[in-house]
A and B are shown apart, each in its own frame.
Chain A
C-alpha cells in the first residue's frame, strides 16, 4: 500500500471518529456506475490526499463528509479539520498540510 493510501486510511479513520460525522461522502454515483460498467474506482471516496508541489511540500488534504442533522455543520467540519491535523501531526510530525473540509450532505 502506498504512503498516500496508508495516510488516507489513517486520516479517514480519524474523521469517522468525529462526533457529528455521519460518514465520509460515499461517492455512491461512481460506485454504482462502476458496478454497472465493471470498472474499478481508483481513489477512495470522501478523502483525497496529495502533495501537489512534490515530496517534502505541504500535504493537500480534501475531506468530504455527510453530517448528522443533530449536529451543527460548521462545528463538525471544524472538528473534522482539527482531527485530520492532529492525526497528521502524530504520524508525520515534520509535515504541514492544508486541510479543506466540505459538508456535502446532512442526514
Chain B
C-alpha cells in the first residue's frame, strides 16, 4: 500500500478533475466521493479513511457495488444462464470508473463553440490508435488543453481569486482550442532485431494524430511519445485482457481486492493512480536504448 498525503483541511484543496460533475458527491468530511473510491481502488491511504465514518461508509458501498456486479459475473458461470454476463459486468464497472474519474474536459472546438470531450474518453481512443502500431503497447496517456499565452496570465489571476466551487463548465479552459498529448508506450523487443525507437515513436505519433482528427475531431498541438520500457515480445503478456484500453496499474494490490478482474484502470486515469510517465524522455529505457521519445508538432 502506498501513502498519499492529503493537504490539511484548510485551505481547501484545488478542485480535482471531475469536481464539477453532478454525479460526484462531496462527503460531509469534505472529501469527494470519487477521490475516496479512487483511493480505495488504488490502495492509497493517509489514515483519514480509517477513522472517518463518512469515508468508511462510502468504501463499504463500493464494496457492495463490486459484490453486486461480481454476482452478474458469477451468474454467467451458471450453465442455466442463457447469456454471458461478463461483458456486461465489465462495461458496467468501466462506466462507473469512467464517471468517477473522467479526467479534465478538453475542447473539441475553439470558442465560441462550447463543445468538449472528457480526457478519459479521448485517451482511450488515442491509446487504441497507438496500439495499432506493431510492437507497441500503450501506457499512460495524458491530454491537456494547450494554454493560450495571451490569456494565461489573466486566467491564473482569475483562478487565484475565484472560489473553485463557483467554477462551472462555462469557465472551462479551452486555451487555444488545441490539445497537447503525452503518451507513454512500451516497445516490444523481438529476437531478430532491436527496435528502431525513434521510428517507432514517429509511427505512434502519426497514428495518434490521425485518430485524434478522424475519430474525435480533437486538434492536436503536440504529441509527445515517451518509450517508458522495453519488454520481451515473446514473454507472457502481463495483461491477458484482450481489451486494448486496459492499462496495467502496478500500484494495485490484488490482495486488497477480491474482484476477479484485477480492475486495472480502463483509461489512463487522470488521478494519481495513473502510471507516471517520466519527465525525462526515455528515463525508463534500459541502458543503451538511448533517447527514444519523440516530439512533434501537429498541424
Is A94 an interface residue when CB atoms closer than 8 A count as contact? no
Q: Which residues of A contact B218 (CB under 8 A)?
A: 73-74
Would you call A28 and B117 a contact (CB within 8 A)? Answer: no
> Of A43, A60, A105, which contacts B95 at CB under 8 A?
A105
Given A28-B96, A43-B22, A100:B116 Cβ within 8 A: yes
Q: B98 near A: Cβ within 8 Å?
A: yes
Q: Is the CB of A28 within 8 A of B115?
A: no
Q: Which residue of A lies closest to B107 (CB)?
A: A74
Tally A-B pairs: CB < 8 A: 97
Asked if B115 and A104 sit within 8 Å, CB to CB, the answer is no
Cβ-defined contact, B92 with A28, below 8 A:
yes
B23 and A81 contact, CB distance less than 8 A: no
Majority secondary structure of chain B interface residues (helix, strand, loop or mixed):
helix
Interface contact B95-A106, CB-CB below 8 Å: no
Chain B positions within 8 Å of A92 at CB level: none
Q: Is the CB of A48 within 8 A of B121?
A: no
Q: In whole angstroms, how far apart are the Cα atoms of A80 and B88 in the complex?
A: 27
Q: When chains A and B are docked, how far (Å) is the Cα of A32 from the Cα of B120?
A: 21
Which B99-119 residues have C-beta < 8 A from chain A?
99-100, 102, 105, 108-109, 113-118
Check if A18 is an interface residue, CB within 8 A of chain B. Answer: no
Count B-side interface residues using an 8 Å CB cutoff.
Answer: 34
The yes or no answer to A77 lying at the interface (CB within 8 A) is yes
Residue of A77, A100, A104 touching B102 (CB-CB under 8 A) = A104
Q: Quick one: CB contact mask for A30-47 with B, threshold 8 Å, 1 for yes?
A: 101100110000010100
Taking the nearest CB of chain B, how far is it from the CB of A49, in angstroms?
12
Query: Closest CB-CB distance, A4 to chain B, in whole Å?
Result: 14
Cα distance, A78 to B61, chains bound together (Å) = 37
Complex contact A74–B217 (CB within 8 A): yes
Q: State whether A81 touches B114 (Cβ < 8 A).
A: yes
- When the two chains form the complex, which single residue of A25, A45, A69, A102 contacts B169, counting CB atoms closer than 8 Å? A102
Q: Evaluate whether A106 and B125 lie within 8 angstroms (CB atoms) in the complex, with A73-B217, A74-B218, A100-B116 already known.
A: yes
**B170 contacts chain A at the CB level, 8 A cutoff:** yes
Give the chain A neighbours of B96 by CB distance below 8 A: 28-29, 32
For A36, the chain B residues whose CB sits under 8 A away are 61, 64-65, 68
B residues near A103, Cβ cutoff 8 Å = 108, 116-118, 121
In residues 28-85 of chain B, which contact A (Cβ within 8 Å)? 61, 64-65, 68
Q: Are A98 and B109 in contact (CB under 8 A)?
A: no
B: residues with CB less than 8 A from A are 22-23, 61, 64-65, 68, 92, 95-96, 98-100, 102, 105, 108-109, 113-118, 120-122, 124-125, 169-170, 214-218
Other A-B pairs beyond A29-B96, A74-B117, A105-B98, 19, CB < 8 Å: A27-B22, A27-B99, A28-B96, A33-B61, A33-B65, A73-B117, A73-B215, A74-B217, A75-B217, A77-B116, A98-B114, A99-B114, A100-B170, A101-B115, A103-B121, A104-B102, A104-B118, A105-B121, A106-B124
Q: List the 10 shortest-distance A-B pairs measured between CB atoms, nearest first.
A: A74-B217, A103-B117, A77-B115, A74-B108, A102-B116, A100-B114, A29-B99, A73-B216, A30-B23, A100-B169
